[in-house]
Amino acid sequence: TMLKGMTRLISRVHKLDAGHFLHTGSQAPQNLAAHLDNQVPVESPRAVSRTSESDPAKHGEQHEGQHYNIPLQDLKAVFPHGLPPRFVMQVKTFNEACLMVRKPALELLHYLKNTNFAHPAVRYVLYGEKGTGKTLSLCHIIHFCAKQDWLILHIPDAHLWVKNCRNLLQSTYNKQRLDQPLEASIWLKNFKTANERFLSQIKVQEKYVWNKRESTEKGSPLGEVVEQGITRVRNATDAVGIVLKELKRQSSSGIFHLLVAVDGVNALWGRTTLKREDKSPIAPEELALIYNLRKMVKNDWHGGAIVLTLSQTGSVFKPRKAFLPQELLGKEGFDTLDPFIPILVSNYNPKEFESCIQYYLENNWLQHEKAHTEDGKKELLFLSNTNPGQLERLCAYL
């Protein structure tokens, strides 16, 4: 009897016309009928996967699951660093950058639109399993804030600052701490590209003496500090520290809104893989960059928001299956971040999966003949378990 029921279901699936791609699997026949009514008509497949609304501020519930286009010049200006490497490859291959609008990002956008800049900065933490789209959601938020003319403080991957650092210098400012000139100078370069227009507007409120010959006067633009950090690599870490301090102090004044976006924030608490010359391990507090960043992530300033992402992929000494904030941040991190809004980023739902496949089909990315068929789609769904990262990797070679 079970076999007869299965064959009846299968013949019903075969009777659907080619447009209805949804994977029905083990759904009961009543749900099938309801599903057919709710489906978007396939006469215009572009309507399912793409939207012409390229301003993130106007994205709403109706755009969920659809891809919106980011012009390539904007991409270079807003994201000099921070996009996942596979996404960069995809942008290069397709000659266009399309991000999918998803629920966690929409939720965050709603909160950001209603931020009260007089209250202390709210911390939002995007968490989820590997490959679910936390970094790209963060990029969506950053694009929105860039369009709204906020100042973006984007640290693309905090894990890069706690592992594989070659040159560690003893900090000139504080003898106990260590400098990372390379990482700091790279970050300053990218920060400059992203926030050109603010660097001349914001004025420094203190005099900073770099060495016997160079100093930055009070009232000079922040751009000078950044230049100093880029040219004099030895002082790059201190320059970063100054930038962070000034921005935190002045964000309350109301000239600009500050968005602090850190990817892989669980690197700030925990352990590092770095060692001193005498092979003794270095704790994250002893790195000047991490120390200053921790001050930034505390919610004792107002005039902006803090959006953080947890990441197990680049983390050190954390088990592979860990994705919850408590597991990844550890006790210290969790207590420091304590009142935060957690936002779960999960795998694709059927509509988003469909939209993703449609997007790939439109760009002719799925070249395998069988990938266009029903069976092919079902198999992709099964193999990837609707995980966006896995799906992308699967479609890359199909």
Partner 1 sequence: MHRFRIPWSLFPVFRHSLRHAGTPRAVLVGSSWPAKMAAPAVKAARAWSGLALGLRNAVLRLPGLTQVRWSRYGPEYKDPHIDKEYYRKPLAELTEEENYERELRKTQLIKAAPATKTCSVFEDPVISKFTNMMMKGGNKVLARSLMTQTLEAVKRKQFEKYHAASAEEQATIERNPYTIFHQALKNCEPVIGLVPILRGGHFYQVPVPLGDRRRRFLAMKWMITECREKKHRRMLMPEKLSHELLEAFHNQGPVIKRKHDMHKMAEANRALAHYRWW
Q: What minimum distance in Å lies between the beta carbon of 231 and partner 1?
A: 32
Q: Are 157 and 315 within 8 A, CB to CB?
A: no
Q: In this complex, which beta carbon is closest to partner 1, that of residue 326 or of residue 373?
A: 373
Q: In this complex, which beta carbon is closest to partner 1, that of residue 31 or of residue 93?
A: 93
Q: What minimum distance in Å lies between the beta carbon of 378 and partner 1?
A: 9
Q: In this complex, which beta carbon is closest to partner 1, that of residue 86 or of residue 275?
A: 86
Residues 6+ apart with CB under 8 A from 246: 202, 204, 205, 222, 225
Q: In this complex, which beta carbon is closest to partner 1, that of residue 247 or of residue 366?
A: 366
The footprint of partner 1 (CB under 8 A) covers 7, 10-11, 89, 93-95, 364, 367-371, 373, 375-376, 379, 396-398
Q: In this complex, which beta carbon is closest to partner 1, that of residue 70 or of residue 145?
A: 70
Q: What minimum distance in Å lies between the beta carbon of 86 and partner 1?
A: 10
Containing 6, the helix (H) or strand (E) segment is: helix 2-15
How far is the C-alpha of 370 from the C-alpha of 351, rounded, in Å?
21
Amino acid (1-letter code) at residue 382 = F
Backbone angles phi, psi at 97, to 5 degrees: -115, 115
Containing 169, the helix (H) or strand (E) segment is: strand 169-170
Inter-CA distances, 149 with 256, 268, 318, Å: 8, 28, 37
Q: What minimum distance in Å lies between the beta carbon of 390 and partner 1?
A: 12
Q: What minimum distance in Å lies between the beta carbon of 384 and partner 1?
A: 13
Instruction: Give the residue among 145, 70, 68, 76 at the shortest CA–CA distance from 102.
Output: 68
Token digits for 64? 């969920």
Residue 70's DSSP bridge partners are 97
Instruction: Give the residue among 137, 124, 133 at the shortest CA–CA distance from 259.
Output: 124
Q: What minimum distance in Å lies between the beta carbon of 318 and partner 1?
A: 23
Instruction: Give the residue among 306, 188, 165 at the shortest CA–CA distance from 238.
Output: 188
Residue with tokens 């990844």: 328
Q: What minimum distance in Å lies between the beta carbon of 79 and partner 1?
A: 21
Q: In this complex, which beta carbon is closest to partner 1, that of residue 141 or of residue 366?
A: 366
Containing 69, the helix (H) or strand (E) segment is: strand 67-70
How far is the C-alpha of 376 from the C-alpha of 334, rounded, in Å?
43
Token digits for 280? 């003794």
How far is the C-alpha of 7 from the C-alpha of 9, rounded, in Å?
5
Q: In this complex, which beta carbon is closest to partner 1, that of residue 110 or of residue 368?
A: 368
Q: What minimum distance in Å lies between the beta carbon of 375 and partner 1?
A: 5
Q: In this complex, which beta carbon is closest to partner 1, that of residue 29 or of residue 254?
A: 29
